[in-house]
């Protein structure tokens, strides 16, 4: 996981050009194809295909991959960092495993800091390629250590899940793709390069991206990414079946490879076992471990070796990766339908000032809003980390869509949020409330929409 960046003096920058239209995602279904403000007749939903149970992912296999990554680091100056021989050896190891398992692999190169970087993309044959389920992890370490938890753990869990797909001869409804990213520790360079390299039509085919960065922390927590309520529920319900209560992750906001996908309008989810934040007494009571200590005391350090892994957390998290991949890959590809209400009027956002709102009047609905209300947001802004975004329902209930983040220095918010608004009335005036809480920024609400 990328180190948190300190807030720094910034020059004003021009907002990036608008990305492709924001993709609307409903729970485990393909994004809506139309953003027109109309109300199509609701068809009878198609029956969802039966979902085969995901196999148990042998933790011994995952640990064997970690042992290989440790050996690679030991033989290459103690690390597997971008631009170093240890990283290229790591990518070659993963690629060899996938090639032997029947994947179509592609090594994508990029340049950063004067060195060649590598992303590895692996596609499993079959499935509807217009509906791609993607899982990924960064494979590089910092220069100061072998990076076995950060992020050999996520890389190994994703790799073993991909190999389990091959062993099972899985024939998914949707297309499965896996990715291993380079230069994440420099600010998600590899994954951003990959997203940028895709034509808009190819980006729109990626229905879901799941990210796994640090899943074996020695003093572990069980955190789920909070950006999409359906994906959060997928993992939360899985762990509930194990008697484990999860929490939504705030430590990793904007600090890993999900960020470029999310910023491109692709829905994202994932798991995280904690980095340098301190475990609270309540978390220790819930998950075990030691209160008052970091989740990973060896974060970005030379002691992040194979001895820095909690086997139980690694086992549970790896099984959860497989559960998500099996479940999502078997989902229906029938596009959801729904009534769309949209406001395209620009609203300027004052720099370091008061909150502004943009209104949408919803009429003609019955009862309350849905439990998976889709909120598509397109905000042009030079430093989105300073933005706080809320959705305010007609009855005054407020839903936090985005908190501020000092480490998120990119531009624009162009994504879709899923909100459980079932306690709020559907009809009435809905408000998108946006506030810039830091200086030296410019931006405006370009448009936003609600899909019921």
- How far is 28 from 391, CA to CA, in rounded Å? 22
The answer to whether 249 and 277 have CB atoms below 8 angstroms apart is no
pLDDT of residue 408: 76
- The pLDDT of residue 40: 33
- Residue 405 scores a pLDDT above 80: yes
Geometric angle at alpha carbon 353, from 347 and 355, rounded to 5°: 55
Rounded distance, CA 316 to CA 217, Å? 12
Q: How many angstroms separate the CA atoms of 405 and 219, rounded?
A: 25
For residue 316, is pLDDT > 60?
A: yes
Can you tell me the distance from the alpha carbon of 118 to that of 180, in angstroms, rounded to the nearest whole number?
A: 9
Q: What is the pLDDT, as a whole number, of residue 352?
A: 96
* Nearest-10 Cα torsion for 419, 233, 318, 169: -100
Model confidence at 283, pLDDT cuts 50, 70, 90, reads: very high
Separation between Cα atoms, residue 146 and residue 133, nearest integer Å: 29
CA–CA–CA angle 286, 287, 289 (5° rounding): 120
Beta bridge partners of 116: 111
Tokens of 296: 């990973």
pLDDT > 70? residue 27: no
Per-residue pLDDT band for 4 (boundaries 50, 70, 90) equals: low
Per-residue confidence (pLDDT) for residue 335, from 0 to 100:
65
Residue 60: partners with Cβ closer than 8 Å, 6 or more residues away:
none
pLDDT value, residue 428:
95
Go through 6-20 and write b for each residue having 16 or more CB atoms within 10 A of its CB, e for each that does not.
Answer: eeeeeeeeebeeebe
Q: What is the pLDDT of residues 185-208, one digit of tens each?
A: 999 999 999 999 999 999 999 999
pLDDT tens for 169-179 read: 999 999 999 99
| pLDDT above 50 for 9 | no
The pLDDT > 90 percentage for the chain reads: 75
Enclosing H/E stretch for 68: helix 59-75
Cβ neighbour number for residue 323 with a 10 Å cutoff:
22
pLDDT band at 230 (very low <50, low <70, confident <90, very high): confident
Partners of 294 in the β-ladder: 278
pLDDT band at 53 (very low <50, low <70, confident <90, very high): confident
Structure tokens at 208: 């879901």
> In angstroms, how far is CA 192 from the centroid of its own chain?
13
Q: Which of 160, 184, 185, 207 is catalytic?
A: 184
pLDDT tier, 354 (very low <50, low <70, confident <90, very high otherwise): very high
| CA pair distance 237, 216, nearest whole angstrom | 20
Which pLDDT value is given to residue 225?
A: 95
Question: What pLDDT is attached to residue 150?
Answer: 98
184 is catalytic: yes
Q: What is the mean pLDDT of the chain?
A: 88
DSSP per residue over 335-360, as a string? PP---EEEE---EE--TT---EEEEE
pLDDT confidence band for 69 (50 / 70 / 90): very high
Is a pLDDT exceeding 70 seen at residue 424? yes
Chain center to CA of 215: 14
In the predicted structure, residue 39 carries a pLDDT above the cut 70: no
Average pLDDT over residues 11-39: 34
For residue 62, the model assigns a pLDDT of 98
Which of the two residues, 31 and 128, has the higher pLDDT score? 128
Q: What's the whole-number mean pLDDT along residues 21-25? A: 33
pLDDT surpasses 90 at 371: no
- Do residues 356 and 434 touch, judged by C-beta distance below 8 A? yes
Q: Round to whole Å and give the CA distance between 388 and 403.
A: 5
Quick check: 235 and 224 in contact, CB under 8 A? Answer: yes
Task: Let me know the angle formed at the C-alpha of 380 by 379 and 381, rounded to the nearest 5 degrees.
Answer: 110
Task: List the one residue out of 223, 224, 219 whose CA is nearest residue 292.
Answer: 219
- Confidence (pLDDT) at 414: 84
Percent with pLDDT over 70 in the chain: 88
């Amino acid at each position: 996981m990328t180190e948190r960046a300190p807030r720094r003096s910034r020059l004003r920058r021009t907002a990036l050009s608008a990305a492709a239209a924001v993709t609307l995602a409903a729970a485990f279904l393909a994004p809506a194809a139309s953003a027109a403000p109309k109300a199509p007749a609701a068809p009878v939903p198609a029956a969802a295909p039966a979902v085969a149970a995901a196999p148990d992912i042998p933790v011994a296999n995952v640990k064997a991959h970690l042992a290989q990554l440790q050996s690679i680091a030991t033989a290459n100056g103690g690390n597997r960092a971008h631009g170093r021989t240890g990283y290229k050896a790591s990518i070659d190891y993963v690629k060899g495993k996938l090639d032997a398992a029947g994947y179509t692999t592609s090594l994508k190169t990029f340049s950063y800091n004067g060195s060649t970087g590598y992303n590895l993309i692996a596609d499993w044959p079959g499935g509807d390629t217009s509906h791609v389920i993607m899982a990924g992890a960064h494979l590089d370490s910092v220069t100061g250590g072998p990076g076995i938890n950060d992020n050999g753990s996520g890389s190994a869990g994703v790799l073993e899940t991909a190999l389990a797909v091959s062993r099972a001869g899985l024939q998914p409804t949707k297309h499965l793709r896996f990715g291993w990213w380079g230069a994440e520790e420099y600010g998600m360079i590899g994954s951003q390069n990959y997203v940028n390299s895709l034509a808009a039509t190819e980006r729109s085919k990626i229905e879901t991206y799941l990210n796994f960065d640090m899943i074996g922390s020695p003093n572990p927590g069980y955190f789920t990414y909070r950006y999409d309520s359906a994906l959060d529920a997928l993992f939360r319900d899985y762990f509930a079946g194990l008697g484990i209560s999860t929490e939504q992750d705030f430590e990793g906001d904007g600090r890993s490879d999900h960020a470029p996908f999310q910023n491109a309008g692709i829905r994202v989810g994932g798991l995280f076992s904690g980095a340098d934040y301190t475990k609270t007494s309540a978390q220790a009571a819930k998950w075990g471990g030691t209160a008052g200590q970091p989740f990973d005391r060896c974060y970005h350090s030379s002691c992040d070796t194979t001895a820095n892994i909690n086997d139980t957390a690694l086992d549970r998290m790896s099984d959860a990766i497989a559960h998500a991949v099996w479940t999502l890959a078997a989902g229906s590809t029938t596009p959801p339908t729904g009534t769309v209400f949209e406001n395209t009027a620009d609203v300027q956002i004052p720099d370091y000032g008061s909150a502004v709102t943009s209104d949408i009047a919803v009429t003609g609905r019955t009862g309350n809003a849905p439990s998976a209300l889709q909120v598509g947001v397109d905000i042009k802004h030079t430093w989105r980390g300073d933005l706080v975004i809320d959705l305010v329902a007609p009855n005054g209930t407020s839903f936090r869509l985005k908190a501020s983040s000092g480490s998120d220095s990119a531009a624009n918010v162009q994504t879709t949020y899923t909100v459980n608004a079932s306690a709020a009335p559907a009809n009435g005036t809905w408000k998108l409330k946006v506030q810039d809480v830091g200086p030296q920024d410019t931006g405006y609400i370009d448009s936003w929409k609600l899909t019921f």
